[in-house]
Structure 1
Amino acid sequence: MQILDQIRAEALERGIPASDVERWLGLVRPCALLTEGGDGPVVGRFGGPVMLPAGVEDPVYPLLATIDCAALPAGVTDLALPPDGRLLFFGFPEENGMGDVVHVPEGAAVEERARYPRTFPPDEDSYGPVYRELPEGDLYLTADVSLPFIGEIELPGPPWAEPLPGHPHSEEMAEVWADQWGGAPLLIGGYGTDYNGGDPVRIAARCAVKEEKAGRRPGPVSPRAEDWVLLAECSVDRPGAGATIFWVIQRDDLSARRFDRAYVLVDWNP
């Protein structure tokens, strides 16, 4: 409530009508901020061993983070996450990087895999500097709220079914929120920050539809951004460059635990 009060006060100071401010604040969603320190509970870790069931193929990308689903308190996100087991987020934060996400059910027999995938050997000059910047250690939870960072999103349901900027102050309200945003290296749920100046969820939906039409992605794929959600976002900074990885998934696939159908975007910032 304190964060929302700050946003409300700043927006009103900018001259945004109170009715439009409240309309925008109606989009608020809970999200989990995960950092390498803090006062909250430990809910996972950056890095660590790659533990996967025998039937799962070796990962193509390095392991970035493992989340203990049972350690996430109820209501910390509005996602239909598994109640237990672990979510393993793989990715490579570089220009040509991508990623995957795997759910390992509670009690599943697992075996340790190679830490470094063959496709991204750590001894190569192009990969070694990236590995040295990947975070390691426990992940601490902070429960937070999330609002859109980009004005171009689709407002859910009537009476706000039109795409933004149908909201007359969408860009200004997104700027207000960005000014209040403290950031975190890993987010679960909420709204994505920025993918090349656009909403990563909406862009992922469009890209997935194009791939389906081209026969490169099995259906069904919904073209509606509201049928997709941000599962997680990880930011890795290093001298002279950095990248943000977005794992986006259809709501139906998340509910059905079809994590292999997640769509991954990497925003590289040289």
Structure 2
Amino acid sequence: MDHQGEFRRAALELGVPEDEISRFREHLRLAIGLSGRGDGSPVGHIGGLPQLPVGTEWPSAGDIPLPLLLSVDCGALPKVDGFDLPADGTLLFFVHQEMDAGELGVHPGQYARVVHVADGTETAVAEPPESTRVGKRIDVYAKLRADLPLWLQEGDEDWHEFWEDLEWEDLSSFQRKLGRYMERELPHLDELRSLAHDLWSSDAFLVIGGYADDEMTAGSILAKTLGKGQWLTYLEEDRVQLASEWIPLANEGRVYEEPYTKFMIRHEDLAAARWDKALSVTVIDAL
């Protein structure tokens, strides 16, 4: 389906100029929300046991088995323009969340794996190693959702609410740049945001695609991609740049005092199916 064309036609009917629609669409990403209720057939499951190729060992970090977070049938997912998920096969996401939450930049991906099992591969339900924690299996259904970077979202506490407490002269030069861009180039921003969410709305807990550009995710990606001996420096513009380069393959919602994980990958690595380049970011919010 031509989602971009659908959005353009609907925005034109609202009287938004075509050039402004094009600018807004540069930032708009469609994501796939996964939840335990929905129409049609399940597209995968959270927890449970994976279907692995016959003879394949359960993914592990040394002698530490990695629990299955998510299994998803790529062929059953809604197709999204510009998001190069495999056309078929199964994507499996394994992560030991407690161990991964303490990982920094020394061994990126040590406690997480992304595995793609191509269609036609002989598989069997894998028996977990004795020490593996197997989560309850929950079948999930897919629904499209519209997603925007944090700086374009309405009332986000990390950006707009913070800005509203400051005078213009107290904003950083980068914050001023974003503010001027929104005012001058996107005067119909409120209408465009509302339209996108009216067309594609999902409050799913687990999401494939979209954005994951919060401060913790951006800082973790920088830390895990640093070369040996490099120091971590972090600016607001780095966060926006990272959001343009990386996309979440699987993005768990925030759970207070429990670990939640985001699997991030660069667009070019996704297109080339370089699953070993995916990075996991696991956080435990205890405050």
Same fold, judged at TM 0.5 (above): yes
Q: Are 1:47 and 1:136, in contact at CA under 8 Å, matched by a contact in 2?
A: yes
Partners in 1 of 2:259 and 2:180 — Cα distance?
A: 29
Partner of 1:183: 203
- Report the alpha carbon displacement of residue 44 of structure 1 after superposing the two structures with TM: 0.9
Q: Are 2:100 and 2:112, in contact at CA under 8 Å, matched by a contact in 1?
A: no
SS at match of 2:203: coil
Of 193, 200, 212, the match for 1:192? 212
Instruction: Tell whether 2:263 aligns with 1:247.
Output: yes
Residues 68-83 of structure 1 mapped to structure 2, 5 A cutoff: 68-75=73-80, 78-83=82-87
Unaligned residue ranges in structure 1 (runs of 5+):
9-18, 123-130, 154-161, 216-222
Q: Which amino acid aligns with 1:249?
A: I
Partners in 2 of 1:252 and 1:117 — Cα distance?
A: 37
Distance 1:71-1:267 versus aligned 2 partners, 3 A rule: same
Distance 1:23-1:209 versus aligned 2 partners, 3 A rule: same
Partners in 2 of 1:166 and 1:135 — Cα distance?
A: 47
SS at match of 1:84: coil
Instruction: Tell whether 2:120 aligns with 1:107.
Output: yes
Partners in 1 of 2:211 and 2:68 — Cα distance?
A: 23
Instruction: Tell whether 2:167 aligns with 1:148.
Output: no
Distance 1:26-1:164 versus aligned 2 partners, 3 A rule: farther
- Report the alpha carbon displacement of residue 264 of structure 1 after superposing the two structures with TM: 0.5
Q: Percent same amino acid at aligned positions?
A: 28
Of 85, 90, 95, the match for 1:91? 95
Q: Which amino acid aligns with 1:228?
A: W
Partner of 1:219: none
Once the two structures are superposed, what CA deviation does each residue of 1:193-214 show, in whole Å capped at 9, x if it has no partner? 63xx34x2x435423431x446
Partners in 1 of 2:54 and 2:248 — Cα distance?
A: 28
Partner of 1:235: 253
Once the two structures are superposed, what CA deviation does each residue of 1:202-251 show, in whole Å capped at 9, x if it has no partner? 435423431x4469xxxxxxx962332221112374xx622321101122
Partners in 1 of 2:229 and 2:53 — Cα distance?
A: 32
Partner of 2:52: 52
Q: Which amino acid aligns with 2:69?
A: L
Of 238, 260, 264, the match for 2:280? 264
Q: Are 2:143 and 2:202, in contact at CA under 8 Å, matched by a contact in 1?
A: no
TM normalised by structure 2 equals 0.61
Partners in 1 of 2:119 and 2:27 — Cα distance?
A: 33
TM normalised by structure 1 equals 0.64
Q: Which amino acid aligns with 2:251?
A: E
Partners in 1 of 2:130 and 2:223 — Cα distance?
A: 26
Q: Which amino acid aligns with 1:53?
A: P
Larger radius of gyration: 2
- Report the alpha carbon displacement of residue 142 of structure 1 after superposing the two structures with TM: 0.9
Partners in 2 of 1:264 and 1:111 — Cα distance?
A: 26
In terms of fraction of residues, the more helix-rich structure is 2
Instruction: Tell whether 2:70 aligns with 1:65.
Output: yes
SS at match of 1:264: strand
Distance 1:207-1:269 versus aligned 2 partners, 3 A rule: same
- Report the alpha carbon displacement of residue 111 of structure 1 after superposing the two structures with TM: 3.6
Distance 1:105-1:21 versus aligned 2 partners, 3 A rule: closer
- Report the alpha carbon displacement of residue 268 of structure 1 after superposing the two structures with TM: 1.1
SS at match of 2:270: helix
Partners in 2 of 1:114 and 1:169 — Cα distance?
A: 56
Partners in 1 of 2:219 and 2:33 — Cα distance?
A: 23
SS at match of 1:39: coil
Q: Which amino acid aligns with 2:212?
A: G
SS at match of 1:168: helix
Partners in 1 of 2:251 and 2:78 — Cα distance?
A: 19
